[in-house]
A and B are shown apart, each in its own frame.
Chain A
């Protein structure tokens, strides 16, 4: 009786072990444990290696230089829209970083029109096209639609606001700008309509550091 029990137990253990093995074998690391591939077996003469080594090192050095030239030596700014953080560089050195606010990734759908507004900070490289002190904000249509207000005609005084964009603005094209804000509590959050908002002190440094033509990298 006991002897039989041991036999059954042994058979069951073997079965369970094999089943376990099969399950484990499904995991790539174990699945691949049987691969044996030939390594690199081709050898070349010592002199040839020396010559090739020198020429390869020269080529690599040239490639590094070429790649390095892609990074501007003049001032540029990187905007991280995910973390709402900016990084200001000059002479390839980080000179300032801090919080910003970027696009809220929202589509505003109109009630009586198929038109929709997309509030998103576009990724890619842009250039500073113009710089302005004490800018006046010319409110676009969406600003009224979003607030549930009727859209005034173009040039209407209600479209123009002073102070909303802070002390400075740097235009990036297609209506996008880097500017200041009166909504400082939203700094570090994705709340804008696509522009990049900076705090007062950061904005002043960015305004004074970036020139017209400076690159703005946004991701």
Chain B
């Protein structure tokens, strides 16, 4: 029978010491993640709550509303806003999420009516009270900024041909490329309206699962934005949003038809 030597005993001790090191590292690593998660949560929640507080602060002193009349008051505000839009000279957008309708209106005439296929709104809109609702949607909103996957009212620049032969050769060919249509507008009450053109809800969902499509890119951007701010110990920017899915050709038509500072009215 072999006896344990002093060397064997030392080697066992060293091995045990190294295991403890890894364990300590892992525990510290987990604690670091936990700490970072805590900061992340705190700052994210803080950003959302700050936005809510600022929205509520704007309605301080407003007359309290009766819950039983809120529906009628919303309807009244909706028609008042549409009338204001009708009196303006340009094309405007009315979004009726209650009736799943998105309409392009020109001088009070509905020129395009699009059935909303699907929509989602930020929790901000689901939890706002009556006064906040009217401060946000009680009057027409104005578009501040556009971003879109396709160029709005794209113009093709053509050089005049120098001869009949050159003119024949340069006969225009129709662009048959299919582009995904989605566009985002920033509205003057500090929230975003996202419109995406989709063929079907199922197709849009499967795109999302494959890491494609407008919604996925939007979520990815939000995560990246949050991380960037939190790494600097800053509160991330929180912008409530409304995402509406309508048929692609209608999404494109509306994008092209709306002027740069178009009026938008919304009923939720």
B127 near A: Cβ within 8 Å?
yes
Docked-complex contact A148 and B164, CB < 8 angstroms? yes
Residues of A within 8 A of B80 (CB): 63
**Number of A-B pairs whose CB atoms are under 8 Å?**
216
Whether A59 lies near B76 (C-beta < 8 A) is: yes
Chain A nearest Cβ from B259, distance in angstroms = 8
Given A40-B130, A107-B157, A123-B257, A70-B45 contact (CB < 8 Å):
no
Q: List the one stretch of A14-22, A153-161, A172-180 in contact with chain B.
A: A14-22
- Cβ-defined contact, A105 with B153, below 8 A: yes
The distance from the CB of A61 to the nearest CB of chain B, in whole angstroms, is: 9
Number of residues of chain A lying within 8 A (CB) of chain B: 76
Q: Is A205 interfacial (CB-CB < 8 Å)?
A: no
Say which one of B2-10, B34-42, B137-145, B198-206 lies at the interface with A: B34-42
Taking CB atoms, residues of chain B closer than 8 Å to A76 are 109
How distant is A26 from chain B, measured CB to nearest CB, in Å?
Answer: 3
B79, A60: Cβ atoms closer than 8 Å:
yes
In the assembled complex, the Cα of A56 lies from the Cα of B154 at a distance in Å of 45
How far is B48's CA from A77's CA once the two chains are assembled, in angstroms?
47
Residues of B within 8 A of A81 (CB): 256
B19 & A67 in contact (Cβ 8 Å cutoff): no
Q: Looking at the complex, which one of A28, A38, A118 makes contact with B123 (CB distance below 8 Å)?
A: A28
One of B26, B108, B249, B257 near A11 (C-beta < 8 A): B26
Cα distance, A148 to B164, chains bound together (Å): 5
Other 15 A-B pairs with CB < 8 A, given A63-B83, A82-B256, A148-B166: A18-B33, A25-B40, A31-B47, A31-B238, A37-B127, A49-B68, A56-B76, A59-B76, A63-B80, A76-B109, A105-B154, A106-B172, A111-B160, A124-B90, A148-B165
Could you list which residues of chain B lie within 8 angstroms of chain A, going by C-beta atoms?
19, 22-23, 26-27, 29-30, 33-34, 36-37, 40-41, 44-45, 47-49, 52, 56, 64-70, 72-73, 75-76, 79-80, 82-83, 86, 89-91, 104, 106-112, 120, 122-124, 127-130, 153-167, 172, 174, 219, 222-227, 238, 240-241, 249, 252-253, 256-257
13 A-B residue pairings within 8 Å (CB atoms): A11-B30, A15-B33, A19-B33, A22-B40, A35-B127, A42-B65, A53-B69, A63-B79, A105-B154, A109-B159, A124-B106, A147-B164, A219-B91
